[in-house]
Amino acid sequence: MILHITSKQEWSAAQSRGEYTARSLSTEGFIHFSTDKQAVNVANAFYRGRTDLILLVVDETKLDAELKWEAPAGPPAEKVSEADLFPHLYGPLNLNAIASVFDFQPDPVTGKFTLPKLATGD
């Protein structure tokens, strides 16, 4: 399973269209995903202060578009381990690949995100 963070508004629009696309698909050529080990760091780095988010849990075996595991954007690292690779989807996300959708809110006191228990299988 791979994870994608998006807004409730973007998710609603995807349900109306019958597929999910992110702005990054047109600007970078792919949709950013994370593993369960990466998602919290991504959320806290890029979505701090947002309270309108959901977390899509995606079964990568059901994807129609090509999924590639690649190094994160930014300056090239000398050595990138397999754990540092991020899943990137090179096309729209077909909705039948979405296994679960969770409300994804930061802690009201600390403002930090944590994964919902059901998203990790715990």
- For 47-97, what is each residue's pLDDT tens digit? 999 999 999 999 999 999 999 999 886 555 555 556 689 999 999 999 999
Residue in the structure block whose two tokens are 């899943």: 87
Q: Which residues of 78-98 are buried (b: 16+ CB within 10 A; e: fewer)?
A: eeeeeeeebbbbebbbbbebb
How many other CB atoms sit within 10 Å of the CB of residue 7? 14
Question: What is the C-alpha to C-alpha distance for residues 37 and 75, in angstroms, rounded to an integer?
Answer: 22
For residue 76, the model assigns a pLDDT of 55
- List CB contacts of 74: < 8 A, sequence separation 6 or more: none
For residue 117, the model assigns a pLDDT of 77
Question: What is the C-alpha to C-alpha distance for residues 52 and 46, in angstroms, rounded to an integer?
Answer: 13
pLDDT band at 118 (very low <50, low <70, confident <90, very high): low
For residue 110, the model assigns a pLDDT of 93
For residue 116, the model assigns a pLDDT of 87
For residue 21, the model assigns a pLDDT of 96
Hey, what domains does the chain have and what are their CATH numbers? 2-109 (3.20.170.20)
Higher pLDDT, 77 or 38: 38
The percentage of the chain sitting over the pLDDT mark of 70, rounded to a whole number, equals 87
Q: What is the mean pLDDT of residues 100-114?
A: 94
